[in-house]
Amino acid sequence: MLQKLKEKIEKIASGFIPKDDATGVNKPGELSRQQLVNQILEHFQLSFAEETTDESMLYPTSFNIVLHPDDYAKRQQGFAQTSKDSASKFHKFLKGKLAQYADHIPHATYWSFQFSSCGAGDNVEAGNGSFSVVEAGEAIIMSSLYSIDFSAANMASGTNIKTTRKPQGSLTTESYNMNKDALLGMDILNKDKFRINFDKEFGAAKEPVSITGSDMEANAYAVLKFKEGSVSKSYFMIDQQIEISGKKDTRGGTKFLKLDSDDMINSHVIIKFEKNVFQIAAFGNTKLNSRTLKLSQGADITWYDLAKSSSILINDHIIIDFKAK
C-alpha cells in the first residue's frame, strides 16, 4: 500500500518536472535547464554565506557560467530564460532574508549573466588557484560582487572576473579577463550575455536584455578614444560621472577608466555630465585642448566646461580624444 502511494506521488511529481526539449530526453551526464538553474543558485547561496555578516547582506551580481560544449549546444536556446529564472530565484532567496536585514539596499542595479563554452577536457581556474575539468553535466561558475557589463567596449577592467584556462594535454596556462571579448580564446561558440534589472522589492525577475557592443555605444554619453602601445581603444562613458586613473587603481566598475600607466594617480581626471553640460576636473597633470588645468585637491574641485569634441593630454604623453554623443 505504501509502495503504491509512493509510486503515485512520484508519478504526479514527474508531471511538474520541466522537459528539456521537444523529446524531453537527456543523455546521461548532460545538464538539464533545471539542473543548471539549481547550480547557479547553489553558487549564489554559497557566495552569500561567505560575504554576508550579521550587519549586512552582500552577494554576487555578475556570473560567468562555463559549460561543456555538449551542454552549451543543448541549453543555448534557453539561456535568456535561464537568466530570468536564476534572477527570480535570487530575489526569492533575498526576500526571505529581509526580516533580518530590514535596511538592506541592493548594491547593484542589475544582474549580469554570461554563458561560455570551453573545450571538452580543458581545465578552468576561477581565481582560487585550483583547476577544474569542464565536464558534461557540471557548470563551472565564476562571479563578481559587482554588476559587470561584459562588453569589451567599456574598458573598466577592475571588476573583471579573472580566469585561467589550461588546454587539454598542455602544461601551459593562459589568463583571460571576462570583458575582454568574453574569455577570448576559450573556444567560445557564441557570446551569450544577458542583463536583468534588479528589482529592489525582490519580486519576479524582469525580462532579460541581451547585451551587445552596439547597445553600449547607443546608450553612451560620450566616447573616449586613446592608444595603449600600438592598440587603439575606445571607452564608452555610460555613467554620468567617470574617473580616469592609472593601473594601480584597485577600484572597479564601469565608472572607472584605468589606463596602462604607472605615473597616474587615482582619480587623475574626473569627467561628469550634469544639467546637459560636460565638465572636467584634474587632480594630476592634465591639459585640455592645450590649456593646463588647475589642480583640484580633496573637496576643493575646480570644474572646467568640456567641449563636445576635446583633446585631453595627461602627464604630457597620454592623449585621449573625447567626443560627446
The answer to whether 89 touches 134, Cβ cutoff 8 Å, is: no
The pLDDT value recorded for residue 189 is 28
Who contacts 288 (Cβ-Cβ below 8 Å, separation ≥6)? 280, 282, 304, 306, 310, 311, 312, 313
| Nearest by Cα to 111 from 140, 141, 75, 144 | 144
56 and 201 assigned to the same domain: yes
Distance of alpha carbon 247 from alpha carbon 177, whole angstroms: 15
The pLDDT value recorded for residue 173 is 38
Answer with the one of 214, 230, 253 that is the final residue of a domain: 214
Domain span at 305: 220-324
94 and 110 assigned to the same domain: yes
Q: Is position 101 within any domain?
A: yes
- Other C-beta atoms within 10 Å of 189: how many? 14
Q: In CATH, what number is assigned to the domain containing residue 308?
A: 2.60.200.20
206 and 173 assigned to the same domain: yes
Task: At 150, give phi and psi (nearest 5°).
Answer: -80, 10
**Left if phi > 0, otherwise alpha if psi is -120 to 50, otherwise beta: which for 124?**
beta
| Nearest by Cα to 244 from 220, 209, 216, 272 | 272
192 and 89 assigned to the same domain: yes
Q: Is position 81 within any domain?
A: yes
Q: Is position 73 within any domain?
A: yes
269 and 208 assigned to the same domain: no
Q: What own/partner pairs with CB < 8 Å and gap ≥ 24 does 99-103 have? A: 101/56, 101/57
End-to-end CA separation in angstroms for the chain? 73
Q: Which three cell numbers stand for residue 179?
A: 570583458
The pLDDT value recorded for residue 293 is 96
114 and 229 assigned to the same domain: no
The pLDDT value recorded for residue 19 is 41
240 and 199 assigned to the same domain: no
The answer to whether 79 touches 187, Cβ cutoff 8 Å, is: no
The pLDDT value recorded for residue 203 is 61
Q: Is position 229 within any domain?
A: yes
For the chain, how many structural domains are there in total?
2
Confirm whether pTM is higher than 0.85.
no
Answer with the one of 160, 184, 214 that is the final residue of a domain: 214
The pLDDT value recorded for residue 208 is 58
Q: How far are the Cα atoms of 116, 147, 295 from residue 250, in angstroms, in the given order?
A: 26, 16, 22
Distance of alpha carbon 76 from alpha carbon 36, whole angstroms: 12
Q: Which DSSP category does 298 fall into? A: T
Q: Is position 227 within any domain?
A: yes
Q: Which DSSP category does 79 fall into? A: H
The pLDDT value recorded for residue 175 is 41
26 and 155 assigned to the same domain: yes
Q: Is position 260 within any domain?
A: yes
Per-residue pLDDT of the chain (325 residues; tens, 9 = 90+): 445 444 543 443 344 334 444 344 455 567 999 999 999 999 999 999 999 999 999 999 888 888 888 898 899 888 888 988 998 899 999 989 988 988 888 887 778 888 887 666 566 665 555 667 778 888 888 888 876 544 433 433 333 444 444 434 433 333 433 333 332 222 222 346 666 666 656 665 555 555 445 556 667 889 898 888 877 788 888 888 999 999 888 877 778 899 989 999 999 999 999 989 999 999 999 999 999 999 999 889 999 999 999 999 999 999 999 999 8
The pLDDT value recorded for residue 68 is 86
165 and 259 assigned to the same domain: no
- Other C-beta atoms within 10 Å of 26: how many? 17
63 and 203 assigned to the same domain: yes
60 and 207 assigned to the same domain: yes
The pLDDT value recorded for residue 288 is 95
Answer with the one of 193, 214, 235 that is the final residue of a domain: 214
95 and 168 assigned to the same domain: yes
